Every structure is written in structure tokens, then in C-alpha cells.
């Protein structure tokens, strides 16, 4: 194999890999998916694909991985009930989504019944996700996480063990 042909082969393989890892997702979705915890990323991808392919909704991701600092800011601003390290978003193990289908827009302010009518909470349950629409005390229907498989106290302890106590040093999506 000559030099030019080798370069061309490597470039083609690289480009194919680039396309395949992104196939089926919008740039908007991929921007969030790539920052999720590698431990859970595949499951979120499957979940989104299943919503779009089986239920016919387009998925708009509105939140994914959130740093400890950002989480604390949301708590201080009264937007989230929990502070740094206390949300599955802080470990890249949660997403918030809106759903879109032919003029139907399902979002935070939508009723529990409207969400259930989409079939998405039921699909999520079948795939092992927790749904924020079921949370007691804080109705959060846009939220889906892997809280059935990971314990928030364990994740938090592990984060401080790995990165120390300075929130800005913590890479929660790699815990
Ligand atoms: Zn959320």
C-alpha cells in the first residue's frame, strides 16, 4: 500500500466513525448526549431513539449534564430544590426533555395526563428509567434518570473522593 492510499484509508475510516456515532441524532441532541456519563449514555440514546421511532415524537433535550456549581446556582436561585451533588444531572445520569408532534408540545407545564398520553413515561419505565412525574413533592415531568441503578449518596461520596471538595474541580459526568 502506498503512502497516499494509506492516508486516504485512515481518513475514510475516521470520517465513517464520525458519521456513525452521530447518526440518528440532531446536533441539538448530540450536544447533550456527548456530555452524559459514559456509563449511561447508550441507554439515553436508546431511550430517545425509541421515543422517536416507536412513538413518533421529536425529542428536544433541555438539560443533561450539569456541574456541581451550576446545580448550586439553581438551588440558590430557587429553580431547583436540590443543591450541588444532589441531582442525577450532576453525574450525567439524567436528561430533561420536551416532546413535539404535529402541533402538540409536551413540556414542564403539561399535565401528568398529557405526559401519560404520549406513552413516554411508560416506555421509560420499561427501559428502567425513573420518571420525574412520579416524584413525591416535586412534579418534574420533563426529567428522566437512572436512579434505579445508581445511588445518589454513593455517587456524591465517590465524586468527593476522586476530585476533592472544591466543586469546580469535580467532573461529575466521569464519576
Ligand atoms: Zn432533570
| Average confidence (pLDDT) per 10 residues, the chain, 175 residues | 78 67 84 97 97 97 97 95 96 98 96 98 98 93 98 98 94 97
Determine the distance separating the centroid of ligand 1 and the alpha carbon of 102, expressed in angstroms.
25
Q: Is 62 exposed, middle or buried (0-12, 13-18, 19+ CB in 10 A)?
A: middle
Determine the distance separating the centroid of ligand 1 and the alpha carbon of 29, expressed in angstroms.
15
Determine the distance separating the centroid of ligand 1 and the alpha carbon of 89, expressed in angstroms.
6
113 within 8 A of 139, measured Cβ to Cβ? no
Determine the distance separating the centroid of ligand 1 and the alpha carbon of 40, expressed in angstroms.
15
Determine the pLDDT at residue 21: 56
Determine the distance separating the centroid of ligand 1 and the alpha carbon of 168, expressed in angstroms.
21
Determine the distance separating the centroid of ligand 1 and the alpha carbon of 65, expressed in angstroms.
9
Determine the distance separating the centroid of ligand 1 and the alpha carbon of 138, expressed in angstroms.
11
Domains of the chain: which residue ranges?
26-174
The Cα–Cα gap between 33 and 171 comes to 16
* pTM of the model as a whole: 0.87
List C-alpha distances in Å: 165 to 91, 93, 152. Answer: 16, 21, 17
Determine the pLDDT at residue 1: 66
The yes/no answer on whether domain 26-174 falls in CATH 3.40.50.2300 is no
Determine the distance separating the centroid of ligand 1 and the alpha carbon of 137, expressed in angstroms.
14
Determine the pLDDT at residue 18: 65
Determine the distance separating the centroid of ligand 1 and the alpha carbon of 107, expressed in angstroms.
12
The Cα–Cα gap between 15 and 69 comes to 36
Determine the distance separating the centroid of ligand 1 and the alpha carbon of 10, expressed in angstroms.
40
Amino acid at each position: 500500500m502506498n503512502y497516499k492510499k494509506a492516508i486516504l484509508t485512515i481518513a475514510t475510516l475516521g470520517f465513517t466513525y464520525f458519521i456513525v456515532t452521530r447518526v440518528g441524532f440532531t446536533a441539538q441532541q448530540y450536544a447533550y448526549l456527548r456530555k452524559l456519563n459514559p456509563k449511561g449514555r447508550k441507554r439515553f440514546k436508546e431511550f430517545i431513539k425509541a421515543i422517536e421511532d416507536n412513538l413518533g415524537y421529536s425529542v428536544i433535550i433541555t438539560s443533561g449534564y450539569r456541574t456541581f456549581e451550576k446545580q448550586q446556582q439553581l438551588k440558590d436561585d430557587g429553580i431547583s430544590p436540590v443543591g450541588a451533588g444532589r441531582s442525577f444531572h450532576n453525574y450525567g445520569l439524567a436528561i430533561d426533555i420536551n416532546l413535539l408532534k404535529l402541533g402538540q408540545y409536551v413540556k414542564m407545564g403539561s399535565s401528568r395526563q398529557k405526559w401519560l398520553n404520549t406513552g413516554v413515561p411508560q416506555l421509560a419505565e420499561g427501559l428502567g428509567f425513573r420518571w420525574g412525574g412520579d416524584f413525591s413533592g416535586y412534579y418534574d415531568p420533563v426529567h428522566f434518570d437512572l436512579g434505579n441503578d445508581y445511588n445518589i449518596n454513593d455517587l456524591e461520596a465517590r465524586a468527593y473522593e476522586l476530585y476533592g471538595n472544591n466543586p469546580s474541580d469535580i467532573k461529575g459526568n466521569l464519576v
